[in-house]
Amino acid sequence: MNLPDNSLKFQDYTILIIDDNPTNLNVLVDYLEEYGFEIMIAKSGEMGLKRVKVTKPNIILLDVMMPGIDGFETCRQLKADENTKDIPIIFMTALDSVEDKVTGFELGAVDYVTKPIEQKEVLARINTHLNIQDLTYKLNHKIEELTLTRKELVQSEKMASLGRLVAGFAHELNTPLGVAIGSASTLQIETKRINEIMEQEEVDVDELLSSLDSVDKSSNLALSNLERAANLVTSFKRTAIDQTSDEFISFKVKELVDNIINLLHNHFKTTAIEILVDCSKELIITSIPGALEQIITNLLMNSLIHGFNEGLDSGTISINIKLVGEILHLEYSDTGKGIAQENLEKIFEPFFTTNRANGGSGLGMYICYNLITNQLKGDINCESTSGKGSIFKIDFPTILKNEI
């Protein structure tokens, strides 16, 4: 037999033909095998259901009128099975009424061919649905890759966010520890001086009182700065734990925001940027604190870098948070340079940045968008005018709210 030029085109595909008519089977098998298909045969619906459990075909040609369970019932059972529900089914039938076709499509069939069978038509329909199946597989695979990439980006940005907090924490911790060490050194010197004064035959009262006053001031300074250092460590530990966890827990919103601002203080302390927070100290919600911390961190750094020109410009950042029913509403605004209208609709796109020359990744706002929409199941939108600042409005549902 002289095979067509494309005889190997379908050599990697398997077709299951379920039909009780030997003539139909022979005609289809001979024709389709010429194109490289591997053919499986079942002469009843019951046998067809057994065959797919052994070998999963790429597509099924299914006769409607058969003894035992008919094609409609066979199709219903195939679509009800998790292992076979995605196999494309093409009905072969002499029934051509609209009702019969609708029934088949409602059961999950992808196509119909009417008897008597036209071989070229069958091949064309098989080819079409195999192409659709392949494209669907590739699309799903690409979606999985993109989902994985998004998760990796989120994790990467989460670590970058935590890194910024670590840097800020280290700088902030150095200051009170440095003051405490200096005060301890002063205490040591003054203690030695007091001992020397007390060993003199005539005690200089004024000198003694001066040293005692210095000891008192140094002690208070050391204690206050050690307390500040301890509070920084506590804040950082809590924030670090939150940012590496996706668990829902109850937390104080105002305390969370204050912790972030404290840990980022090193970035803002040499600027003329004022940060105002309007949030009740009594507001407690159950959500994912790490996600909220990362969002606020990214927004603050975005304002510093883009809105206020790396902190060279002065202005105000306002964070207003309130609970509206079961929805947490967060409005974040700054008086920075704003966002050009042509860029406004692009700010949540991955890798979009107007600061790439200075190392901008374009991931900060994209990560914020994904954390809000995917993790917190909320939404975010931005309003901005060049030269007049930006406003970000964020809403997401909370699991629980309490008052203390």
**Confidence category of residue 230, pLDDT binned at 50, 70, 90:** confident
**Confidence category of residue 118, pLDDT binned at 50, 70, 90:** confident
Is the predicted pLDDT of residue 190 greater than 50, yes or no?
A: yes
The DSSP symbol for 385 reads -
- Gap between the Cα atoms of 19 and 26, Å rounded: 11
Delineate the domains of the chain, giving CATH numbers in brackets.
14-117 (3.40.50.2300), 245-404 (3.30.565.10)
* Residue for token pair 């061919």: 113
The DSSP symbol for 300 reads H
The pLDDT tens digits for 30-82 are: 899 888 899 999 999 999 999 999 999 999 999 998 988 999 999 999 999 99
| Tally of residues, the chain | 404
The pLDDT tens digits for 249-285 are: 899 999 999 988 987 888 898 999 999 999 999 999 9
Q: Whose CA is closest to 262, among 289, 288, 280, 237?
A: 237
Enclosing H/E stretch for 104: helix 98-107
**Confidence category of residue 361, pLDDT binned at 50, 70, 90:** low
Chain-wide mean pLDDT for the chain?
83
Find the distance separating the first CA and the last CA of the chain, reported in whole Å: 87
- Gap between the Cα atoms of 153 and 367, Å rounded: 8
Q: Mean pLDDT across the stretch 149-165?
A: 63
Q: Mean pLDDT across the stretch 372-394?
A: 92
Q: Mean pLDDT across the stretch 172-183?
A: 75
- Gap between the Cα atoms of 122 and 200, Å rounded: 116
Q: Mean pLDDT across the stretch 109-129?
A: 89
| pTM: predicted TM-score of the whole model, two decimal places | 0.48
Residue 300: partners with Cβ closer than 8 Å, 6 or more residues away: 260, 261, 264, 268, 275, 317
Looking at beta carbons, which pairs linking 391-396 to residues 24 or more positions away fall under 8 Å? 391/331, 391/332, 391/333, 392/299, 392/331, 392/332, 392/333, 393/329, 393/330, 393/331, 394/295, 394/329, 394/330, 394/331, 394/332, 395/324, 395/327, 395/328, 395/329, 395/330, 396/287, 396/327, 396/328, 396/372
**Residue of 291 and 279 predicted with greater confidence:** 279
- pLDDT the model gives residue 403: 42
